[in-house]
């Protein structure tokens, strides 16, 4: 699986959009970009995933650049409950037997009141 | 609430002991994954089971073993415990265990080895 690079920490004002970048310059054509978050020491929570098109769900939007070498997770109206560590993960889509999630160090997002 | 349950929530034990952590996957999920989160290693994949069979293995120590039962719940057995085994242990589940599926995580078991 491709390696990802994320800033170690970010702050965002409550109510503003939080934009979390992820670099995955060695991503392959069959690899998806996944985002999970971990609030305090709770179990990681799935947020969103995508292959090449931008994706949106009730939690967030995922913007993937055309060359797929980087992506941005957008939390449109951040609340204090969004304070968490956010993990960007790249996973191979077709390699059966390799379904594990490989977590990096993630970005610690702090929402400021 | 992800629908994945783990017991116990907390476990305190001594070095050299053996413990069993239990995981019940979401209803309908056939695949179970175990992850370990320690302060120095971060979140690491240990092992995956699919419908009772081992599917994939990560950096799981030989002192650790797991199994998935016919009712699909899974147990992670940790033996000859060392101080460094103190960590959060998470179980996750997914329907078929294929890479594009979302994995849903349980609340974890916090293990403290004294």
Question: What pLDDT digit, counting tens, does each position of A55-71 carry?
Answer: 999 999 999 999 999 99
More confident residue, B59 or A81: A81
Of B31, B56, B101, the CB nearest to A98: B56
Query: How sure is the predictor about A113, in pLDDT bands with cuts at 50, 70 and 90?
Result: very high
Residue A1 has pLDDT above 70, yes or no: no
B108 and A42 within 8 Å at the Cβ level: the answer is yes
B42 and A46 within 8 Å at the Cβ level: the answer is no
Mutation target to probe the A interface, by most A beta carbons within 10 A, among B48, B92, B99, B104 is B99
Asked if B110 and B11 touch (Cβ cutoff 8 Å), the reply is yes
Residue B98 has pLDDT above 90, yes or no: no
pLDDT (0 to 100) of residue A30: 84
Asked if A87 and A3 touch (Cβ cutoff 8 Å), the reply is no
**From the CA of A12, how many Å to the nearest CA of chain B?**
24
Mean pLDDT value of segment A83-96: 83
A34, two tokens: 């996944």
Q: Which residue of A has its CA nearest to B31?
A: A99
More confident residue, B39 or B8: B8
Query: How sure is the predictor about A98, in pLDDT bands with cuts at 50, 70 and 90?
Result: low
Asked if B86 and B41 touch (Cβ cutoff 8 Å), the reply is no
The alpha carbon dihedral of A78, A82, A87, A91 has a sign of: negative
Distance in angstroms (rounded) separating the CA atoms of residues B24 and B35: 14
**From the CA of A13, how many Å to the nearest CA of chain B?**
27
Asked if A57 has any chain B CB less than 8 Å from its own CB, the reply is no
Pairing of strands A70-75, B10-13: unpaired
B107 and A44 within 8 Å at the Cβ level: the answer is no
Q: What percent of chain B has pLDDT over 90?
A: 83
Distance in angstroms (rounded) separating the CA atoms of residues A24 and A27: 6
Pairing of strands A9-13, A107-112: parallel
**Phi and psi for A80 in degrees, rounded to 5?**
-60, -30
**Phi and psi for B40 in degrees, rounded to 5?**
-90, -20
Cα B80 off chain centre by: 17
Residue B9 has pLDDT above 90, yes or no: yes
pLDDT (0 to 100) of residue A93: 66
Nearest C-alpha neighbor of A96 from the set B100, B65, B95, B59: B100
pLDDT (0 to 100) of residue B95: 86
**From the CA of A100, how many Å to the nearest CA of chain B?**
6
A28, two tokens: 């392959």
**From the CA of B51, how many Å to the nearest CA of chain A?**
14
Count of CB atoms situated within 10 Å of the CB of B82: 12
pLDDT tens string A7-22: 999 999 999 999 999 9
């Amino acid at each position: 699986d491709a390696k990802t690079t994320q800033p170690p920490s970010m702050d965002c004002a409550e109510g503003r959009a939080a934009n979390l970048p992820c670099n995955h310059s060695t991503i392959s054509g069959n690899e998806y970009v996944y985002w999970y978050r971990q609030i305090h020491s709770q179990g990681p929570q799935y947020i969103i995933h995508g292959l090449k098109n931008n994706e949106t769900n009730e939690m967030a939007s995922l913007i993937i650049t055309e060359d797929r070498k980087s992506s941005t997770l957008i939390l449109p109206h951040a609340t204090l409950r969004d304070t968490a560590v956010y993990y960007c993960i790249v996973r191979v889509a077709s390699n059966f037997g390799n379904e594990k999630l490989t977590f990096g160090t993630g970005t610690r997002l702090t929402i400021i009141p | 609430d992800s629908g994945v349950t783990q017991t116990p929530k907390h476990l305190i034990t001594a070095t050299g002991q053996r413990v069993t952590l239990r995981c019940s996957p979401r209803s309908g999920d056939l695949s179970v994954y175990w992850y370990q989160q320690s302060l120095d290693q971060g979140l690491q994949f240990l092992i995956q089971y699919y419908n009772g069979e081992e599917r994939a293995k990560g950096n799981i120590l030989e002192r650790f073993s797991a199994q998935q039962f016919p009712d699909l719940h899974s147990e992670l057995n940790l033996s000859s415990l060392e101080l460094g085994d103190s960590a959060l242990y998470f179980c996750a589940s997914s329907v078929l265990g294929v890479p594009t599926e979302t994995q849903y995580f349980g609340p974890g078991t916090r293990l403290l080895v004294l």
